[in-house]
Amino acid sequence: MTDREFRALEPEARSRSGRPHPGEYAAYAHPDIAAIPEDDAVAALRSSRDRVVALFAPLTDARVAGVRYAPGKWTIKDILGHLSDDERIYAYRALRLARTDDRVLAGFDQVRYADAAGSEARTLADLLVEYRSVRAASITLFAGLGPEAWTRRGTLEGHDVTVRGLAFHIVGHEMHHLRVLRERYLPLVSPG
């Protein structure tokens, strides 16, 4: 499915989230969340998707095969697979809070997930289709929330979080990885 086809399926947001405040997300995420230019989670998710696709779409499997900036670091494909996994988990957490499930949210071991995903064995095209599908589902979820849902609270690994804090985490997390990709990985990718 093309980006245009995915966008055509996206609903307009029922309400705007507003920016999360400190105390609505883990403190370690503050620099990444503060760097997000948008003041609405759905708009931020759309813009971030466009940045991710713009970075990955021109790359080829041959150019990125096995590229990592240091031993033991993830490959470029591992990072793209990780973005989808992380987003699924954070969207699920936000769904639970939005639906008033106030039980403590569980953490996950991102290294184990990435190791088990097998992203390096997949094509970039396949990983991008998955990424776009996950993002389309997240946009649909968040666009359907009413104004009261955005500030519903819960606890995640000892941190107070809100639905909008979790949505902004998805974008901030992506921005972090895009920065690392541009600074440390792309200089290692063979030219076109």
Q: Which amino acid is at 105?
A: L
Q: Please determine, for residue 5, whether its predicted confidence score (pLDDT) is greater than 80.
A: no
Return the SS3 of 105.
strand
Place 101 in a pLDDT band, splitting at 50, 70 and 90: very high
E-state strands within the chain = 153-156, 159-162
- Summarised one tens digit per residue, pLDDT across range 43-60 is 999 999 999 999 999 999
- The answer to whether the beta carbons of residues 181 and 56 sit under 8 Å apart is no
Give the residue-averaged pLDDT of 156-172: 96
β partners of residue 167: none
* pLDDT score of 10: 72
Percent of the chain with pLDDT over 90: 87
The pLDDT of residue 6 is 61
For position 134, what pLDDT does the model report? 97
Stretch 2-25: mean pLDDT, rounded?
81
What is the pLDDT at residue 162? 98
How many C-beta atoms surround the C-beta of residue 104 within 10 A?
A: 10
User: Distance between the two ends of the chain, CA-based, in angstroms?
Assistant: 25
The overall pTM is greater than 0.85: yes
Task: Quote the CA–CA distance of 160 and 152 in Å, as a whole number.
Answer: 10
- 105 with 156: CB under 8 angstroms? yes
Domains of the chain: 3-9+26-188 (1.20.120.450)
pLDDT for 2 equals 66
Burial label, 83 (beta-carbon count in 10 A; 0-12, 13-18, 19+): buried
